[in-house]
A and B are shown apart, each in its own frame.
Chain A
Amino acid sequence: MADKITLEIARYSPEQDVKPSFATYEVPVYKEWVVLDALNHIKDKVDGSLTYRWSCRMGICGSCGMMVNGEPKLACATFLSSYAHNGNKIRVEPLRYFPVIRDLVTELSDFLVKLKKVKPWLIRKEKPALGQGEFLQTPDQLENYKQFSMCINCTLCYSACPVVGLDPIFVGPAAIALAQRYNMDSRDQGADERIAVLAHPEGIWGCTFVGECTRVCPKHVDPAGAIQQYKLRAVMDWVKSFVMPRAS
């Protein structure tokens, strides 16, 4: 393992720049260091104006998503040592397909609007009384949706999805996976409300199953699988509405 590595980091300050440029920094390589440690080293010791988001540094808050050598990754989960051979450089850029506010910081308000649009909360026809106790849910029923509930909202999937890049109105993998998480929750009764929002060219039908979202997801949520399952369900619902119009 080399003991130094070069980082090329995208810099952009709207007060001075029209578009981003790259700045180069040399950083020591240790076995435990991740890209985030390199960024912190630069910010603390070299250039305090380097701007990026981070918080938990254990892959659970979802703040530190960025493009590392063209791949969307969490900076806290990407070891420097995996790039440190034969003079490899690491190119760090902000997540693709989002507007860039500054350096490595992207603008997320659009993502949050999409998240809210899919009604990601438990919908019940009647509000349950607290005293009635918990809704019974067997471990198998929990397994059905558990994978989709693991999303940390890091938006790496949005950076991987070409449809998000080409069609900004597309709701996107994480939002649809979250909707499916609630649809498959045995306690939820709001699947109809969500289908009304999502069975739409910019909803699930915008997805062309590229599958990149699943490949880059750091929590193995499999949003592509969620969307295809949702498509199947939407079709079945549509067929049922013809064949058995009253059975809802």
Chain B
Amino acid sequence: MDASSHDILLVGGGGAGLRAAIAAAEVNPKLSIAVVSKVYPMRSHTVSAEGGAAGVVKPDDSLDEHAYDTISGGDWLCDQDAVEAFIKEAPEELMQLEHWGCPWSREPDGHIAVRAFGGMKKRRTWFAADKTGFHMLHTLFQTTLKYAPIVRYDEWFVTKLLVDEGRVQGVVAIELMSGRIQAITAKAVILCTGGCGRVFPFTTNANIKNGDGMALAYRAGAPLKDMEFVQYHPTGLPFTGILITEAARAEGGYMLNKDGYRYLQDYNLGQPQPKPVLRSMELGPRDRLSQAFVKEDQKGRTIETPYGSIVHLDLRHLGEKVINSKLPFVRELCLKYQNIDPVKELIPVRPVVHYMMGGVSTDIQGATPLAGLFAAGEVACVSINGANRLGSNSLPECLVFGARAGKAAAYLAAEQKPANGAVMAQANDEKRRLESQFLFKTGGRERIATIREEMQKTVEKCAGIYREGAALHDGAAELRKLQERFEDIALDDRSRTFNTELESVLELGFMLDVAESIVQCALHRTESRGAHQRTDFPARDDAKFLAHSLVYRNSDGSSRVEYLPVKITRWPPGERVYGEPQEQPQALPARKAG
């Protein structure tokens, strides 16, 4: 088998991956850095992020306030040392991106403009019209073209991490164009493959977000952390799942149930005001808005459509001028994909899975417990997002931890030996497995789409916005059955050339592993915190669960869940409070239903 070797290998070429590649190239220009991505880098899902990136840069703001907003928004599950490092480096990274040419939106005097964002008490979200992720990704991609040490493997699909002598020594990847299966060895591997939204049926995530990196790490023996914390975005179009950005609510949109009533005022999120108030009503944290939807749905006050139940987002009162200048993309999306004009009509929305707080467990340098393996971006869990991520924190997270992981990997690679020959045997085994299990196999009775849809339905049912012990047990059993049926899949496509069906079945395999880890973590955490809400354990339990869930794969394929205490530095756990500052905090521990 052919093999190529590099010093650092990045799996995934999105915001975190490209930032890590640049960081490594700047630390040591003599390193050979490979970016292995299953799509061209400008197709990475970073491109679809709309709202903005938070960084403290205005004089009326302070690092401590951003830290407090992040930590309290994360329901105190954030590692506070990581948050402090993140908060401090976020504005530096965003400024670096500006120096690389990112077209941030400006104030009339030429300085960077910032806007309000849900969960943030002060205005600190940098934005580039409403295509922040797009501009960031393209700026990063175009900047990586400058660096000769960065070599790209475009449309190569990584199927396995090569581990020997207790460290990661490379990957096995399929060159999609030709079907060639090859080992690419490296002294350090950084996973930047993004989240796993496609495990769920309604998601803003693109087709490519299947939790590849999470499954790769899990199978290689690295633990996944906090997998039960799945963030729903409260406003996504039904059917396509396209996200209607938080900014639409930040500019003043209302959420209405089937009676045209602003139902959020019933759920301890403040009272309706004529102008949007930070952290109140429609600008409250996302998990609270999604939970409010489920409650409204249970009360029968949502609207039924062929694509699921919805509520309405009303932007009509903002007027055409404001919508065209501040929310042009929202208008374009609604018109182009759902044939709705927000200037004149109500937008149908429902909660959709948007972000995965959990992921490959890393420390604050981006290193996982498995030597030689790093992770950054949504695939990683450091954790700075805790139990619930605040909007506009994930783009700077990609940059800050991408840079950290890149630098850490560069330092490691400078001292590390190259890969040993033993991994080639593993690589050959992997090639044979792929051929016998998928390409040459005949007689299977299952179709990929059937298993995928059933997996999505199962996970949404048991591990959706509200969870419950018995449903989770059933879900876990159902997933095990699906794993068995997975072995019986037959491919229509036996070709070697650009076999996207092979790609889909491998992605489905990854998703089944990730789904299992989500359900197991949700099952073991018998409390409610942030995005993980148990109807059978509605209270937060700091005594037992002020800790991260770590899920490991056992050698027999089953999983075990352990706990790692959260690092608390300066902010002792408090109660999440919403709405006007003068509202009374809720009495412990009874969080009112909804």
A–B touch (CB < 8 A): the answer is: yes
Using a CB–CB cutoff of 8 Å, the interface residues on chain A facing chain B are 13-15, 31-32, 34, 43-45, 47-49, 51-63, 76-77, 79, 101-103, 105, 107-109, 112, 115-116, 120-122, 124, 128, 130, 133-139, 141-142, 145-146, 149-153, 178, 182, 185, 187-188
Interface code B185-208, partner A: CB below 8 Å = 1, 0 otherwise? 000000000000000000000111
Contacts of B312 in A (CB 8 A): none
Residue contact B100 to A121, C-beta cutoff 8 Å: yes
Instruction: Check if A44 sits within 8 Å of B447, measured CB to CB.
Output: yes
Q: A32-B240, A49-B495, A101-B498 are in contact. Are A120 and B339 (CB under 8 A)?
A: no
Bound together, the chains give a CA A52 to CA B131 distance in angstroms of 26
A-B contact pairs, 16 of them (CB 8 A): A31-B339, A32-B240, A34-B337, A55-B206, A58-B242, A61-B48, A115-B145, A121-B101, A122-B101, A122-B143, A130-B96, A134-B104, A136-B111, A137-B110, A138-B109, A149-B138
Asked if A55 contacts B336 (CB within 8 A), the reply is no
- Chain A residues positioned under 8 Å from B145 (CB to CB): 115-116, 120-121
Q: A48-B501, A49-B495, A58-B48 are in contact. Are A137 and B106 (CB under 8 A)?
A: yes
Residues of chain A lying within 8 A (CB to CB) of residue B529: none
Chain B residues engaging chain A, CB cutoff 8 angstroms: 39-40, 42-45, 47-48, 92, 95-96, 98-101, 103-112, 129, 131, 134-135, 138, 142-143, 145-146, 154, 177, 206-208, 239-240, 242, 307, 333, 336-339, 447-449, 491-493, 495-501
- Minimum Cβ distance to chain A for residue B501 (Å): 5
A188 / chain B contacts, CB cutoff of 8 Å: 101
A149: nearest chain-B partner, CB-CB: B103
* A103-B498, A134-B98 given; 12 more Cβ-contact pairs under 8 Å: A32-B307, A34-B337, A43-B449, A49-B501, A56-B47, A59-B337, A77-B337, A101-B177, A121-B146, A137-B106, A137-B110, A142-B103
Task: Tell me which of A15, A77, A145 contacts B497 (CB under 8 A).
Answer: A15
CA separation between A130 and B100, bound complex, in Å? 11
A48–B106 contact, CB under 8 A?
no
Asked whether B110 lies within 8 Å of A136 as measured between CB atoms, the reply is yes
Residues of A within 8 A of B99 (CB): 122, 124, 128, 130, 134-135
A43–B142 Cα gap in the complex (Å)? 34
Of all chain B residues, the one with the shortest Cβ separation from A120 is: B142
Q: Which chain B residues border A109 with CB–CB below 8 Å?
A: 154
Contacts of A62 in B (CB 8 A): 42-43
- Asked, given contacts A61-B42, A136-B109, A138-B109, whether A55 binds B103 with beta carbons under 8 Å apart, the answer is no
Residues of chain B with a CB closer than 8 A to A31's CB = 339
Q: Is the CB of B43 within 8 A of A48?
A: no
Question: Contact at A130–B92, with CB atoms within 8 Å?
Answer: yes
Contacts of B336 on A, CB cut-off 8 Å? 59, 77
Known A57-B240, A137-B106, A142-B106; contact A49-B493, beta-carbon cutoff 8 A: yes
Contact between chains at A121 and B103 (CB < 8 Å): no
Query: Shortest CB–CB separation between residue A213 and chain B, in angstroms?
Result: 18
**Which residues of B are found within 8 Å of A185, using beta-carbon distances?**
101, 103
Give, as a whole number of angstroms, the nearest-CB distance from B90 to chain A: 13
Q: In the docked arrangement, what's the CA distance between A47 and B242, Å?
A: 27
User: Nearest CB to that of B134 among chain A residues?
Assistant: A60
Query: Hey, which chain A residues are within 8 Å of B242, CB to CB?
Result: 57-58
Please, how many angstroms separate the alpha-carbon atoms of A108 and B155 in the complex?
Answer: 11
Q: Report the Cα distance A150→B447, complex, angstroms.
A: 39
* Chain A residues, CB < 8 A from B146: 121
B286 to chain A, nearest CB (A): 19
State A141–B134 Cα separation when bound (angstroms).
20
Least Cβ–Cβ distance between B539 and chain A, in angstroms: 39
CB contact under 8 A between A49 and B42, given known A134-B98, A135-B98: no
Complex alpha-carbon distance, A49 and B497, angstroms: 11
Q: Which residue of A lies closest to B449 (CB)?
A: A44
Which residues of B are found within 8 Å of A145, using beta-carbon distances?
Answer: 103
Chain B contacts of A79 at CB under 8 A? 339
**Quick one: given A44-B449, A77-B336, are A56 and B101 in contact (CB under 8 Å)?**
no
Please name all residues of chain B whose beta carbon is closer than 8 Å to the beta carbon of A182 when the two chains form the complex: 101
State the Cβ distance, B156 to closest chain A Cβ, in Å.
13
CA distance A55 to B449 in the complex (A): 16
Do A152 and B498 contact each other (CB < 8 Å), given the known contacts A57-B207, A59-B336, A130-B96? Answer: no
Among the listed B112, B154, B337, which residue makes an inter-chain contact with A58, where contact means beta carbons less than 8 Å apart? B337
Q: How far is the CA of A56 from the CA of B204 in the complex (A)?
A: 9
